[in-house]
């Protein structure tokens, strides 16, 4: 069965977003390129500080990768991102997103891993459930698991301050003596706070923290547990969205990155969002528009305008020739898109462009969004159910019975072929959210690894190649949930090149660039330019390619806005 073609309806369609570029005919304090969640977040904070702000979105719908779209009639898909946890509590609170329509649907249990031998593992926020479920495999692991979670929680608390601070980057501009003193004080305060937290954490925990950051996820998990299915289930968080294996050094940090979030104050709990992930972007855009932000969709930016005499960014030119003038420009696009495509040639140095070109944009991710006529019936549960059970509520890990299976799937992709037995994270948001599918029918998200951007044989452009891979994924699910394939009404498939073309994700990388230790904090997006400023004065980055990185977090947008506001105060 191929993907259903037809009109695409967007969640929020009919809302008061302007589609007229003529309304931009004034000089703005700030123009934001791209209406993804970080661009909208930055715009909201800038407008709340009293600045005039316009957001320009290339597509017909706001949200970037956090978007809800109706591809199959009656079914609304979270087309790219599909779960919420990382959105910073400060953003939710300060922008009053609950008042603007954000409704989180907490998942419990949050994880289900079926096994082909008839066993299964359920995990979630319920400590009693975790103990009894893990004890089915290992009593030793059942006792170790709460200690593992407690340690990760400590490390997340250590990271909180880093996430909501702009980096202590060395400034490139020549500032007044007073500003230099203020800058040194800010950096001293930053490092002093980090030192204090390090002392509070203690030497043993700090060593464990460094071990987690530097080690392969497999080493970290092998040191904690003996049960393969438990380790594999936890390891998926360490490789999600990347071309890394569980044996790749530094994959432990990505594991930590994915437990940093929370739902309603509970650490590490992921939730669905009522109405799909587009509702996150819609709530942020509602907050932004209330603050006075002017939003224009179907407005593709062709080039950032740079003054020939001063080298300062003075606005943007749209694809239709419209020029939008502003005192500052914030790009929510990837660093590659921003500097290699939007900034005119011969503006940036070869050294800087080389750093941008060498960012790791590799992606192993394919997303398949499905409309199905019934819930999957998992063989290990021995029950034919019409209503969602515990096995349907959380993330369902297909083909994740051992860390070795994850590594084998990765090796396939590194050799240029889609994984023969892919690793699939299946979610069924309609199990909790009845607003996104017809009664009795369901929306299913498949987050699939590993699929290389370029294939050694064939091409993702070939419908036969695409169909063959989709069917291999459905067949794998059939092994765990017999008859699953026959329930499919229609589907929408996004391979890495599709993610790049449709959503502007360079290389198909969902994080705007890999999250390895060589590309986080002071190294993100590149060394020397981690504080949202760029070599072009007046041009800033505010997307996931900046600190603290990818996921629907809002922190890059919030932090970037703070930097822009401070710079504009200094200019005035």
Instruction: Answer whether residue 48 is part of any domain.
Output: yes
Give the Cα separation of 125 and 139 in Å (integer): 19
Instruction: Answer whether residue 213 is part of any domain.
Output: no
Backbone dihedral angles phi then psi of residue 272, each to the nearest 5 degrees: -85, 165
pLDDT of residue 547: 95
> pLDDT (tens digit, 9 = 90+) per residue, 371-385?
999 999 999 987 778
CA distances from 41 to 169, 192, 256, 524 (A): 22, 29, 24, 19
Instruction: Round the average pLDDT of the chain to a whole number and report it.
Output: 92
Q: Name the band, by pLDDT with cuts 50, 70 and 90, for residue 352.
A: very high
What is the average per-residue pLDDT within 496-506?
97
3-class secondary structure, 143: helix
Q: Are 396 and 477 in contact (CB under 8 A)?
A: no
3-class secondary structure, 393: helix
CA distances from 31 to 311, 315, 322, 547 (A): 17, 7, 14, 20
Q: Are 22 and 47 in contact (CB under 8 A)?
A: no
CB hemisphere CA count around 557 (13 angstroms) = 34
The neighbour count for residue 571, using CB atoms within 10 Å, is: 9
Residue 237 scores a pLDDT above 80: yes
Q: Hey, what are 104's tokens?
A: 């989180």
Sign, CA torsion 540/82/407/147: positive
Domain range for 302: 25-103+276-359+507-571
If one counts the domains in the chain, the total is: 1
Instruction: Answer whether residue 332 is part of any domain.
Output: yes
Q: Of the given ranges (147-151, 173-177, 241-245, 339-343), which has the lowest mean pLDDT?
A: 173-177
Instruction: Answer whether residue 218 is part of any domain.
Output: no
Give the Cα separation of 161 and 382 in Å (integer): 47
> pLDDT (tens digit, 9 = 90+) per residue, 138-180?
999 999 999 999 999 888 888 888 888 889 998 877 667 777 7
Instruction: Answer whether residue 184 is part of any domain.
Output: no
Instruction: Answer whether residue 17 is part of any domain.
Output: no
Q: Whole-prediction pTM value?
A: 0.93
The neighbour count for residue 5, using CB atoms within 10 Å, is: 10
pLDDT of residue 175: 67
Q: Are 289 and 46 in contact (CB under 8 A)?
A: no
pLDDT above 90 covers a percentage of the chain that reads: 79
> pLDDT (tens digit, 9 = 90+) per residue, 385-420?
889 999 999 999 999 999 999 999 999 999 999 999
Percent helix, strand, coil in the chain, to 5, is 40, 20, 40
Sign, CA torsion 23/26/29/34: positive
> pLDDT (tens digit, 9 = 90+) per residue, 76-100?
999 999 999 889 999 999 999 999 9
Backbone dihedral angles phi then psi of residue 285, each to the nearest 5 degrees: -65, -35
Q: Name the band, by pLDDT with cuts 50, 70 and 90, for residue 13.
A: very low
What is the average per-residue pLDDT within 185-195?
90
The neighbour count for residue 188, using CB atoms within 10 Å, is: 11
Q: Are 409 and 421 in contact (CB under 8 A)?
A: yes
pLDDT of residue 241: 86
pLDDT of residue 8: 32
> pLDDT (tens digit, 9 = 90+) per residue, 22-52?
678 899 999 999 999 999 999 999 999 999 9
Question: Which residue blocks in 423-554 are alpha helix, DSSP H?
Answer: 463-480, 496-503
Instruction: Answer whether residue 460 is part of any domain.
Output: no
pLDDT of residue 384: 79
Q: Which one, of 124, 128, 198, 185, lies nearest residue 158 by Cα?
A: 198
pLDDT of residue 5: 28
What is the average per-residue pLDDT within 329-346?
98
Residue 305 scores a pLDDT above 90: yes
CA angle (409 as vertex; 403, 415 as ends), nearest 5: 135
Q: Hey, what are 83's tokens?
A: 């779960």
Instruction: Answer whether residue 127 is part of any domain.
Output: no
Give per-residue burial for 360-377: e unless 16+ CB within 10 Å, then b: bbbbbbbbbbbbbeebbb
For tokens 């706001």, the residue is: 62
Give the Cα separation of 239 and 253 in Å (integer): 10
What CATH number is attached to the domain comprising 331? 3.50.50.60
The neighbour count for residue 302, using CB atoms within 10 Å, is: 13
Residue 19 scores a pLDDT above 50: no
CA distances from 471 to 146, 167, 466 (A): 39, 45, 9
Sheet holding 9-10, edge to edge: 9-10, 68-70, 76-78
pLDDT of residue 385: 81
Give the Cα separation of 146 and 547 in Å (integer): 30
3-class secondary structure, 105: strand
Q: Are 162 and 521 in contact (CB under 8 A)?
A: yes
Backbone dihedral angles phi then psi of residue 184, each to the nearest 5 degrees: -65, -35
pLDDT of residue 253: 81
The distance in angstroms from the start CA to the end CA of the chain is: 60
């Amino acid at each position: 069965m191929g993907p259903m073609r037809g009109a695409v309806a967007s969640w929020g369609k009919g809302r008061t977003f302007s589609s007229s570029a003529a309304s931009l005919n004034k000089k703005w304090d700030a123009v934001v390129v791209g209406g993804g969640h970080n661009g909208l977040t930055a715009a909201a904070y800038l407008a709340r500080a009293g600045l005039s702000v316009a957001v320009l979105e290339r597509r017909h719908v706001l949200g970037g990768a956090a978007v809800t779209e109706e591809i199959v009639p009656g079914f609304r898909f979270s087309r790219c991102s599909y779960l919420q946890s990382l959105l910073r509590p400060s953003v939710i609170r300060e922008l009053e997103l609950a008042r603007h329509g954000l409704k989180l649907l907490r998942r419990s249990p949050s994880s289900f891993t079926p096994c082909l031998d008839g066993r299964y593992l359920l995990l979630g926020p319920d400590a009693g459930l975790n103990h009894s479920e893990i004890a089915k495999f290992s009593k030793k692991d059942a006792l170790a698991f709460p200690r593992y979670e407690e340690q990760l929680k400590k490390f997340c608390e250590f990271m909180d301050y880093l996430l909501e601070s702009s980096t202590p980057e060395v400034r490139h501009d020549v500032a007044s003596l007073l500003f230099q003193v203020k800058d040194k004080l800010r950096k001293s305060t930053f490092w002093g706070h980090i030192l204090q937290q390090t002392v509070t954490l203690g030497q043993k925990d700090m060593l464990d923290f460094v071990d987690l950051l530097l080690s392969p996820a497999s080493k970290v998990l092998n040191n904690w547990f003996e049960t393969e299915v438990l380790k594999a289930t936890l390891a998926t968080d360490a490789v999600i969205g990347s071309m890394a294996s569980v044996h790749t050094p530094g994959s432990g940090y990505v594991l930590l990155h994915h437990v940093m979030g929370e739902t309603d104050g509970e650490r590490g709990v992921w939730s669905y969002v009522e109405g799909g992930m587009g509702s996150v972007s819609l709530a942020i855009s509602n907050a932004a528009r209330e603050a006075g932000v002017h939003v224009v969709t179907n407005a593709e930016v062709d080039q950032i305008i740079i003054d020939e005499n001063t080298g300062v960014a003075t606005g943007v030119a749209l694809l239709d020739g419209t020029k939008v003038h502003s005192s500052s420009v914030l790009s929510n696009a990837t660093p590659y898109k921003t500097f290699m495509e939007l900034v005119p040639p011969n503006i940036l140095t070869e050294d800087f462009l080389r750093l941008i070109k060498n960012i790791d944009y590799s992606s192993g991710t394919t997303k398949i969004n499905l409309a199905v006529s019934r819930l999957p019936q998992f063989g290990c549960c021995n029950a034919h159910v019409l209503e969602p059970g515990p096995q349907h509520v959380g993330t369902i890990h297909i083909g994740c019975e051992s860390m070795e299976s994850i590594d084998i799937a990765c090796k396939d992709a590194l050799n240029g072929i889609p994984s023969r037995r892919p690793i699939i994270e299946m979610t069924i948001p309609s199990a909790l959210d009845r607003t996104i599918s017809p009664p009795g029918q369901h929306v299913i998200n498949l987050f699939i690894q590993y699929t290389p951007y370029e294939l050694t044989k064939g091409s993702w452009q070939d419908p036969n190649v695409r169909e063959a891979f989709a069917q291999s994924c459905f067949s794998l699910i059939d092994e765990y949930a017999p008859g699953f394939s026959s329930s499919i009404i229609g589907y929408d498939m996004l391979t890495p090149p599709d993610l790049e073309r449709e959503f502007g994700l360079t290389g198909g990388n969902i994080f705007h660039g890999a999250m390895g230790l060589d590309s986080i904090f002071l190294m993100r997006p590149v060394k020397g330019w981690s504080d949202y400023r760029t070599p072009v004065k007046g041009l800033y980055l505010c997307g996931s390619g900046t600190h603290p990185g990818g996921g629907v977090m809002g922190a890059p947008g919030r932090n970037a806005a703070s930097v822009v506001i401070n710079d504009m105060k200094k200019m005035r």
